[in-house]
Amino acid sequence: MIPAILLLQQTTRRFTAETSVMIEASETNDVLTDRSMTVGHDRLTEATVQTEADLIASAVLARRVIDKLKLEQDPEFNIKLRRPKPIDVFFSYLSPLHWIPASWLSDGEPAQAAPDIRASLEQSRVIRAFR
């Protein structure tokens, strides 16, 4: 019982939500009563709804939201900014990669990505967190 409580205190809380979006047609008419209105007027079609759904789920829109709200600087959305949990630190010491000397892993300085590439990678991580 105690190990289960300790494990539950260390796990990351995940919240899920569900939403509904209503898309209105630009002009709503009763097609059965006025058949002349069907030609030449925009109607709400499956393609229109799919386009709206694609826009809402697009990475471009997510990137704009992340930039505007600076979510890549928020630990709630960017896991790299969070403090490691004690159990994660413990497990990192158990990893065999932790035991390998740094001199064996690379010759000198590790390769660093350009700042704009690193920023793009951070944004991509935050975008994946939304999905």
The SS3 assignment for 74 reads coil
Q: How confident is the model at residue 34 (pLDDT cuts 50, 70, 90)?
A: low
Its pTM stands at 0.47
Report percent pLDDT > 90 for the chain: 1
Q: Is residue 66 over pLDDT 80?
A: yes
The distance from CA 44 to its chain's CA centroid, rounded to whole angstroms, is: 29
- Label residue 68 by pLDDT band (50, 70, 90): very high
DSSP conformation class of 116: H
Please tell me the distance from the alpha carbon of residue 131 to that of residue 128, in angstroms, as a whole number: 5
Instruction: Sketch the domain layout of the chain as residue ranges.
Output: 43-100+114-131
Q: Which residue, chain included where needed, has tokens 């497990």? A: 91
Query: Helical H runs in 1-114?
Result: 2-10, 46-56, 59-69, 86-94, 96-99, 102-105
Q: How many degrees, rounded to 5, is the angle at CA 87 between CA 84 and CA 90?
A: 95
pLDDT by residue (tens digit) across 93-113?
888 877 888 777 665 455 667
| pLDDT (0 to 100) of residue 36 | 52
pLDDT of 90 strictly over 70: yes
What's residue 91's pLDDT? 84
